[in-house]
Amino acid sequence: MADHRPVAETASLLPTCAAEMRARGWNGVDVILVTGDAYVDHPAFGVALIGRLLEANGLRVAVLSQPRHDSPDDFKQFGPPRLFWGITAGNLDSIVANYSGNARVRDVDQYSPDGYPYFGESRSKNERRRPDRATIRYANLARSAFGAIPIILGGLEASLRRFVHYDYQQEKLRASVLTDAKADLLVYGMGERAVVEVASRLAAGRDLAGIAGTCQRLTEAQQQAMAAEGQVFLPSLAEIEQDRAAFLNAELLIDKHARSLGHSLLLQKQQAMWVVQHPPAAPLTTAEMDSLYGLPFSRKAHPAAGDVPAFRMISHSVTIVRGCCGNCSFCAISRHQGPVVTCRSEDSIAAEVERITGMADFRGTISDLGGPTANLYGTGCRSRECSRHDCLHPAVCRHLLVDEGAFLSLLERVSGLAKVKNVFVSSGLRMELLLKTPRLLKKLLLDHTPGAMKIAPEHTVARVLRLMHKHGPDVLPAFLALCRKIGRENRKQCVFTPYFISAHPGCTLADMQALAGDVRNLGLSVRQFQDFTPTPGTISTAMYVSGLDRDKRQPIPVARHAGERMQQRHVLEEMK
């Protein structure tokens, strides 16, 4: 991606080419981070977050953004990194970025320059900037360029493909990306603690065994030499290929282990190799989150990146919370970010907003104070012994501490900052929590909703909602009634953008027709919806593959064929 620009244009960014590296007076770098995204130095982009963190730990870091993947030439430009290659497909799984839920090639990549997903000018004659299964392709090219340098995989794609997983574009089960890429280590989850530990150990000449938040690839002999205590064996690739029910069993074990923050090792046989997952890294504390987001991000795209649509959308947004305790079946946030919610301090968030107000293109609007679920800000757990971390299903847990005042105080403080005219909350909101925080709901509706409030009921049929691991069907009408009451009392019309999923495992055409009737009766308009996409790392995908109910292990209907999926989608399309 990088081109040769005047040093002044790129001096505030991590170097992306040899010329930018030499402009810093460097003859080489310690770490090269390879990404399938255009390089944007903003904390919402994983490579920027990890790159700045490593830089803060005294390392020389370069970013190799959207390299050509038809040869290793781009991988050679910095010379060999002293410590390791850090490889990620980018902010999205590469198959999700390249293909729709029905495996059609996407014409737009929100993380590429101008949204254009191809190298060069001709779509028909050139390769995509982000290759399919980019983590594997980049690892192979890094190995080809400098064979002896450790290769560390990370990011969303690696994290969710760390065990046997389903690839919807190929319509097949695949082995762990760690074994397919033949990499030295895989960092799962958000990765800050693990990647700093990796760098520290390699700098000291130590091995990488046993780092929390990582997976190793072991031979049969190495696995046999491990201590037997504290091991949990997942169904192997061979067992899963022979019996698809074993895939659901494996995913449920992984999910239970992740939510309990268990200390056992997870092991899974992959053909001739084993994948061993070490216990998760501890979630960052509030102070650590504050420090991380206070690093010197320029909040700019590299000049060669041009207009990156994803950056344009989040340029003036602020992450206030990380993690999710909702654990929806179709969502991978809990698997990747973790089930424990961590919130930044009000001081840290206000300081970041003040930095944003100093940007040349700031016009007075903070587009989002949010995260995976914005109104989890200020929540916590009263129980020190909880191992479920499943706080919203089937109802809001009695141990969940909800501090309504924390979010209200934050909104008031940010709204009062100089140059700030509007503060919006555009991230997802959990309706069952808003029912318990009526003052916050009123504040959001009247002052902090950009036109329409985004809500995600997903469905209205009780059986489908259970399979989705969502709240019951009574929440949506109760929520709408309260919102409309607030609207009437304050002479404001409440507008909603509801989000629905068609063709979720267990959902039939009759269920979609029932959903359509419920939507009409509730006075909602259908604005956003999508066919269920069986992405790696979710329980819904395991139900799609196995055809079994996640709780009862009984057969459920699954719309796998395009015609069935289109029928369900058409029900909602007729309502637009």
Mean of the pLDDT values across residues 446-462? 94
Q: Does the pLDDT value for residue 5 go beyond 50?
A: no
Estimate to the nearest angstrom the gap between the alpha carbon of 100 and the chain centroid.
17
Which range (341-355, 381-395, 441-455) has the least confidence?
A: 381-395
What DSSP designation does 304 have? G
The single-letter code of the amino acid at 190 is M
Q: List the one residue out of 273, 174, 139 whose CA is nearest residue 215.
A: 273
349: part of which helix (H) or strand (E)?
helix 346-357
Per-residue pLDDT, 495: 92
CA–CA dist 380, 402 (Å, integer) = 7
| Tens-place pLDDT, residues 227-286 | 778 899 999 999 999 999 999 999 999 999 998 888 899 999 998 999 999 999 999 999
Taking the C-alpha atoms of residue 137 and residue 89, their distance in angstroms, rounded to an integer, is 9
pLDDT class for 49, splitting at 50, 70, 90? very high
Cα gap 519→576, rounded to integer Å:
12
Average pLDDT rounded to a whole number, residues 326-344: 94
Q: What is the mean pLDDT of residues 438-453?
A: 95
Residue-range domains of the chain with CATH: 7-214 (no CATH), 316-429 (3.30.750.210), 451-576 (3.30.750.200)
- Calpha distance 81→84 (Å, rounded): 6
Give the separation between CA 567 and CA 115, rounded to whole angstroms: 30
Rounded percentage of the chain residues whose pLDDT exceeds 70? 97
pTM, to two decimals: 0.95
**How confident is the model at residue 2, as a pLDDT?**
47
Q: Does 6 score more than 50 pLDDT? A: no
Residue 183 CA to residue 92 CA, distance in Å, equals 20
The whole-angstrom separation of Cα 337 and Cα 46 is: 12
- Tens of pLDDT, residue by residue over 71-128, are 999 999 999 999 999 999 999 999 999 999 888 999 999 999 999 999 976 555 578 9
Using pLDDT thresholds of 50, 70 and 90, give the confidence band for residue 385. Answer: confident
DSSP per-residue letters across 28-96: --SEEEEESSPPEESTTSHHHHHHHHHHHTT--EEEEES--SSSSGGGGTT---SSEEEE---SS-HHH
The DSSP-derived string for 83-107 is: SEEEE---SS-HHHHHB-TTSPBPS
Counting beta carbons within 10 angstroms of the beta carbon of residue 425, is it exposed (0 to 12), middle (13 to 18) or buried (19 or more)? buried
Question: Alpha-carbon dihedral of residues 451, 330, 310, 198, nearest 10 degrees?
Answer: 140
Secondary element (H or E) of residue 215: strand 214-218
The whole-number average pLDDT for the span 361-367 is 97
* Partners of residue 265 on adjacent β-strands: 231
Q: What is the pLDDT of residue 260?
A: 87
- Predicted confidence (pLDDT) at residue 556 exceeds the cutoff of 60: yes
Distance CA 126, CA 143 (A): 24
Indicate the SS3 state at residue 531: strand
Contacts of 393 (CB under 8 A, 6+ apart): 326, 327, 469, 470, 471
The DSSP bridge partners found for residue 499 are 528
| Whole-number average pLDDT of the chain | 94
pLDDT at position 226 is: 87
User: By three-state DSSP, how is residue 109 classified?
Assistant: coil
Flag whether pLDDT at 548 surpasses 50. Answer: yes
Strand, helix or coil at 334?
Answer: helix
Contact indicator for 271, 179 with CB cutoff of 8 Å:
yes
Q: What angle do CA 290, 291, 295 make, to 5 degrees?
A: 115
| pLDDT per residue as tens digits for the range 186-227 | 999 999 999 999 999 999 999 999 999 999 999 999 999 987
Tell me the pLDDT tens digit for each residue of 281-313.
999 999 999 999 999 999 999 999 999 999 999
